[in-house]
């Protein structure tokens, strides 16, 4: 058995042995060598049966699949791999099977395409484009009380849209300098809860190293506030800026979203590509942070009195949270975060809690090499929901409007991708989650294939607004009357 012999070594040896294989194919190679002969090259058939059709004889949970692989189903002729493949490699095979499963299902079930009236489980809507052109990589949308809207463009411009959805041609003058590289740039925008009297607007962005070489591209997520007067950004104040040691030339995982609760500001910063830093409570990487609206530290922050911690930290062990909302009734904070390949998460953010990255994760590395076998661990808060394969979560809204009564208090999660990262798929999706008693009881795709969903907001008019990239535009979901939904 050449295939099995190939794996009679430790994980280190496994990685060394496959180092010559092109990066994309590590998990493919494991599957091809060990499994394809019985389950088919595309997991579609063979003497062992299909693994991608969603039908499971021996249990379809992640645990059950991993058990089938490790312990085998000896009576039926399925070998046991527990001695030759490490738990990490078996976990990456489970992720791989999930990717193929979702591609297979996508072929079977046509994607939800919003042509005309879209009927969903609890509401019917049409898609209206409210802004079709004039923006470049819009990242976030905010509504002001006078009917105007603010939009950030990742290359570094803050734009104003008037009450009738006309884009003001001139970008706001004097906004902070950003480092535009890869995922970095101008990111979130949120008005203060007391905006009507204070006029404060908060921005998050990839900021250059203070007094650094302008060309160094070294950057870190920074939060500033300022006021908008006649299309000028004025009165700028720094709310959060990391110590220079945390700046880096990495262009990934800045976070970042801003949300207010009871006057305090919560915001997210990604791990900046340095995953161990997410576990270090002294570093801002991979954290949800909490400050008073003026940037001062709340005395009841979980690590406020520890000298070995960054006092602004609220929770840790996050990878790249790009969705953050509060349920105003319970004051519970929720985030969505990008996993690696598989393992995007929806989390209830508890004060001081550890969310596990990179010790615990449902995904594997982008190159298909294993990351961890652990999907749970004592002392780590598990996600309420995870997407494997990834949808590349971005943007999160809590629905409190009056236009879709059957969606009241549901969560709307944006994705840059559609479900199923394995095959060529239409980009972007919007998903709806319903939570009751701390559990996700409904998960539904509202649409996919319209473009990369960058932000989702509930408008003051009760409609759901979605910021898209490719095409760069803003759409909204408008309800249409249909038969009443089934009672809960
Ligand atoms: C020598 C043939 C053979 C090889 C090699 C093989 N399998 Fe299987 N596999 C089977 C058979 C046979 C079954 C049982 C099918 C049944 O019960 O109908 C099975 C079942 C399974 C199941 C459970 C399916 C279910 O419906 O619950 C999983 C998961 C699985 N295999 C994964 C793998 C993976 C991953 C590999 C490679 C590491 C692999 N198999 C290699 C023959 C094989």
pLDDT in tens, the chain (488 residues): 333 333 333 333 333 333 334 445 689 999 999 998 889 888 988 788 889 888 899 999 999 999 999 999 988 889 999 999 999 999 999 999 998 888 776 665 544 445 688 999 998 999 999 999 999 999 999 999 999 999 999 999 999 999 999 999 999 999 999 999 899 999 999 999 999 999 999 999 999 998 767 667 899 999 999 999 999 999 999 999 999 999 999 999 999 999 999 999 999 999 999 999 999 999 999 999 999 999 999 999 999 999 999 999 999 999 999 999 999 999 999 999 999 989 999 999 999 999 999 999 999 888 888 889 999 999 999 999 999 989 999 999 999 999 999 999 999 999 998 864 434 456 899 999 999 999 999 999 999 889 999 999 999 999 999 999 989 999 999 999 755 555 55
Residue 50: phi and psi, rounded to 5, are -70, 145
- Which of the following is catalytic: 253, 318, 338, 386? 253
User: What pLDDT, on the 0 to 100 scale, is given for residue 106?
Assistant: 66
34 lines ligand 1 (CB under 6 A): yes
- The atom number, within ligand 1, closest to the CA of 30 reads 38
Q: Name the token pair of 342.
A: 């598989």
Q: Name the token pair of 176.
A: 């902070």
User: What pLDDT, on the 0 to 100 scale, is given for residue 214?
Assistant: 64
For ligand 1, atom 5, the nearest C-alpha belongs to 35
CA of 107 to the centre of ligand 1 (A): 23
- In sequence order, which residues have a C-beta less than 8 Å from that of residue 442 and are 6 or more positions away? 121, 410, 432, 433, 434
Which of 13, 36, 32 has its CA nearest to residue 24? Answer: 32
- In sequence order, which residues have a C-beta less than 8 Å from that of residue 197 and are 6 or more positions away? none
Count of beta carbons in the 10 Å neighbourhood of residue 257 = 25
Residue 378: phi and psi, rounded to 5, are -60, 140
User: What pLDDT, on the 0 to 100 scale, is given for residue 22?
Assistant: 44
DSSP code at position 31: H
212 lines ligand 1 (CB under 6 A): no
78 lines ligand 1 (CB under 6 A): yes
Give the whole-angstrom CA distance, residue 357 versus residue 345. Answer: 11
CA of 383 to the centre of ligand 1 (A): 29
Give the whole-angstrom CA distance, residue 140 versus residue 185. Answer: 12
Whether 331 is catalytic: no
- In sequence order, which residues have a C-beta less than 8 Å from that of residue 301 and are 6 or more positions away? 290, 311, 312, 313, 314
What string of DSSP letters covers 46-108? Answer: STT--SSSS--SS--SHHHHHHHHHH-BGGGTB---TTTS-HHHHHHHHHHHHHHHHHHHHHH
The two most distant CA atoms of the chain are separated, in Å, by 76
Strand partners, 337: 321, 345
Following CA atoms 344, 140, 111, 114 in sequence, which dihedral angle do they give, to the nearest 10 degrees? 160
Give the whole-angstrom CA distance, residue 130 versus residue 149. Answer: 12
Cα angle, residue 355 at apex, residues 465 and 180 outer, rounded to 5°: 50
For ligand 1, atom 11, the nearest C-alpha belongs to 48
Strand partners, 248: 219
Q: Is 378 helix (H, G, I), strand (E, B) or coil?
A: coil
Give the whole-angstrom CA distance, residue 357 versus residue 286. Answer: 8
Cα dihedral 244, 245, 248, 254 sign: negative
Strand partners, 326: 333
Following CA atoms 368, 374, 379, 385 in sequence, which dihedral angle do they give, to the nearest 10 degrees? 70
Contact 463, 143 (CB under 8 A): no
Contact 187, 254 (CB under 8 A): yes
229 lines ligand 1 (CB under 6 A): no
User: For the chain, which domains are there?
Assistant: 2-108 (1.10.760.10), 118-479 (2.120.10.30)
75 lines ligand 1 (CB under 6 A): no
């Amino acid at each position: 058995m050449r295939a099995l012999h190939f794996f009679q070594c430790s994980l280190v040896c496994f990685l060394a042995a496959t180092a010559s294989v092109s990066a994309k194919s590590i998990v493919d190679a494991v599957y091809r060598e060990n499994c394809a002969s019985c389950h088919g090259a595309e997991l579609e058939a063979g003497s062992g049966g299909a693994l991608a059709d969603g039908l499971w004889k021996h249990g379809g949970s992640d645990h059950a699949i991993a058990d089938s692989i490790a312990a085998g189903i000896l009576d039926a002729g399925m070998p046991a791999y527990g001695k030759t493949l490490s738990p990490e490699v078996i976990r990456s095979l489970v992720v791989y099977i999930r990717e193929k499963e979702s591609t297979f299902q996508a072929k079977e079930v046509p994607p939800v395409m919003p042509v005309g009236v879209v009927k969903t489980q609890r509401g019917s809507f049409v898609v209206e484009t409210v802004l079709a052109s004039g923006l470049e990589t819009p990242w976030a949308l905010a509504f002001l009380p006078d009917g105007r809207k603010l939009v950030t463009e990742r290359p570094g411009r803050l734009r104003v849209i008037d009450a009738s959805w006309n884009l003001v041609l001139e970008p706001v003058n004097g906004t902070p300098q950003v480092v535009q590289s890869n995922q970095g740039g101008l990111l979130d925008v949120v008005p203060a809860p007391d905006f009507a009297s204070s006029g404060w607007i908060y921005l998050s962005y990839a900021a250059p190293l203070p007094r650094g070489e302008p060309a160094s591209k070294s950057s870190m997520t920074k939060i500033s506030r300022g006021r908008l007067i006649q299309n000028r950004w004025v009165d700028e104040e720094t709310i959060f800026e990391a110590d220079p040691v945390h700046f880096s030339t990495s262009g990934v995982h800045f976070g970042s979203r801003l949300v207010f609760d009871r006057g305090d500001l919560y915001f997210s910063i990604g791990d900046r590509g340095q995953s161990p830093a997410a576990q270090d409570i002294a570093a801002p990487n991979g954290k949800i942070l909490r400050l008073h609206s003026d940037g001062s530290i709340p005395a009841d922050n979980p690590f406020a009195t520890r000298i070995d911690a960054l006092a602004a930290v609220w929770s840790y062990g996050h990878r790249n949270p790009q969705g953050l909302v509060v349920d105003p009734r319970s004051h519970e904070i929720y985030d969505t975060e990008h996993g690696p390949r598989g393992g995007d998460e929806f989390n209830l953010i508890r004060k001081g809690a550890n969310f596990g990255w990179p010790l615990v994760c449902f995904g594997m590395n982008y190159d298909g090499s294993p990351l961890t076998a652990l999907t749970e661990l004592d002392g780590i808060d598990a996600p309420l929901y995870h997407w494997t394969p990834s949808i590349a979560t971005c943007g999160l809204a809590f629905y409190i409007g009056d236009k879709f009564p059957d969606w009241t208090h549901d969560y709307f999660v944006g994705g840059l991708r559609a479900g199923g990262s394995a095959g060529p798929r239409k980009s972007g999706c919007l998903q709806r989650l319903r939570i009751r008693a701390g559990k996700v009881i409904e998960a539904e795709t509202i649409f996919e294939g319209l473009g990369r969903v960058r932000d989702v907001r509930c408008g003051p008019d009760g409609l759901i607004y979605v910021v898209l990239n490719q095409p760069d535009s803003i759409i909204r979901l408008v309800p249409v009357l249909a038969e009443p939904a089934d009672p809960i």
